[in-house]
Amino acid sequence: MYLYGKNSVKERLKTHPESIHKIYVQENFRDPEINGIIGPLKIPVTKVSEQDLLRIKRADRLQGIVAEVDKFRYTPFDELLHLPEKERPSFILLDSLNDPHNLGTIMRTAACFSGFAIVIPEHGSCEVNETVIHVASGGENYVPVSLVTNLTATLIEAKKAGYWAAGTVIESGEDINKVSLPFPLCLVLGSEGTGIRYGLQKHLDLKITLPMRGAQLSFNVAMACAIFAYEITKQRGK
């Protein structure tokens, strides 16, 4: 698969250079930091015209650099679930999320806060593709993502291992500003259209809501995730 854009390529160079097979740069590409990182790594670099770069990867905002890299590697859920207690992440379970831009933003958010892992189902959801990784802007290097067969079965497994389950709802949930969150925690986020499916809802220990005193609109799932992740991080540190 291909990474494109300065941030995406730079973060991969810093964290997992072994996953990069080849880098293509536009003839007039200038970035001292990226060039300085590439130098000692002995990664093949080919200079090409802007037109040829677009032939390699047809996308907006290439920023003059494209890297051919290993396919994205998911982290087995069991591996994350049985980490030592102090290393246990808070899980973000994404139910029926189909927009790659939202998934990429959630990955970037989770990476920025740290201490999170993302879980997505194999079917009925967006997988981690090139668009997701571009939007994540390097976040994929810092947050593990698990791809599971059944999200409900995964949530049940996490609860058996001692996790609590909190789901986000638009209304009738407990105010996120007033609730005391239990840990370790699974946060379940539903799709914008249908919310959390009933099969998952019935396994929730807690339903939480973002109070909105302004226009009667709703946050998209990526915005909501950022707010909930901030609150989880704040309470987890107490």
CATH of the domain at 161: 3.40.1280.10
Least Cα distance to 143 among 174, 105, 169 occurs for 105
Do both 159 and 231 map to the same domain? yes
Query: Using one digit for the tens of pLDDT, what is the confidence trace for 26-46?
Result: 999 999 999 999 999 999 999
Q: What is the pLDDT of residue 215?
A: 67
pLDDT at 216 over 80: no
Q: Is the pLDDT at 186 greater than 80, yes or no?
A: yes
Please check the confidence at residue 59 and state whether its pLDDT lies above 70. Answer: yes
Instruction: Give per-residue burial for 34-47: e unless 16+ CB within 10 Å, then b.
Output: beebbeeeebebee
- Three-state DSSP at 103 gives helix
Domain that holds residue 154: 77-236
Question: 74 pLDDT exceeds 80?
Answer: yes
> Is the pLDDT confidence value at 210 over 80?
yes
Are residues 106 and 218 part of one domain? Answer: yes
For residues 64 and 87, state if they share a domain.
Answer: no
Asked if residue 194 has pLDDT above 90, the reply is: no
- Residue 232, class by beta-carbon neighbours within 10 Å (0-12 exposed, 13-18 middle, 19+ buried)? buried
Quickly list H helices, 86-197: 100-113, 130-136, 151-160
Do 11 and 126 reside in the same domain of the chain?
A: no
**Structure confidence at residue 236 (pLDDT):** 93
Q: Domain check: are 84 and 192 in the same one?
A: yes
User: DSSP string covering 157-175, please?
Assistant: HHHHTT-EEEEE-SSSSEE
Reduced to 3 states (helix: H, G, I; strand: E, B; else coil), residue 3 is: strand
Contacting residues for 220 by C-beta, under 8 A, at least 6 apart: 102, 192
**Mean predicted confidence (pLDDT) in 174-195:** 91
pLDDT, mean of residues 150-155: 97
| Conformation bin of residue 65: beta by default, left when phi > 0, alpha when psi is -120 to 50 | beta
Spatial distance between the Cα atoms of 173 and 115, rounded to a whole number of angstroms = 25
Contacts of 209 (CB under 8 A, 6+ apart): 168, 169, 170, 171, 172, 173, 174, 175, 176
Cβ(100)–Cβ(133) below 8 Å: no
pLDDT of res. 172: 83
User: E strand or H helix at 56, and its extent?
Assistant: helix 50-56
Question: What CATH number does residue 35 fall under?
Answer: 3.30.1330.30
| End-of-domain residue from the set 38, 69, 100 | 69
210 and 103, same domain (yes or no): yes
The answer to whether residue 178 scores a pLDDT higher than 70 is: yes
Task: For residues 46-64, give the mean pLDDT.
Answer: 95
User: 97 and 14, same structural domain?
Assistant: no
User: For a pLDDT cut of 70, what percent of the chain falls above it?
Assistant: 97
Number of domains making up the chain = 2
Mean pLDDT of 198-227: 87
pLDDT at 92 over 80: yes
pLDDT band at 170 (very low <50, low <70, confident <90, very high): confident
For residues 201 and 180, state if they share a domain.
yes
Residue 188's pLDDT is 97
CA 195, 198, 203, 208 torsion: positive or negative?
positive
The type of residue at 183 is: F
Residues 96 and 45 in one domain: no
Residues 191 and 149 in one domain: yes
Q: What is the pLDDT of residues 105-118, one digit of tens each?
A: 999 999 999 999 99
Q: What is the mean pLDDT of the chain?
A: 94
- Kindly state the average pLDDT of the residues 1-5: 97
State how far the alpha carbon of 86 is from the alpha carbons of 65, 83, 108, 183, in Å: 39, 8, 23, 12
Residue 174 CA to residue 168 CA, distance in Å, equals 9
Q: Answer yes or no: do 86 and 125 share one domain.
A: yes
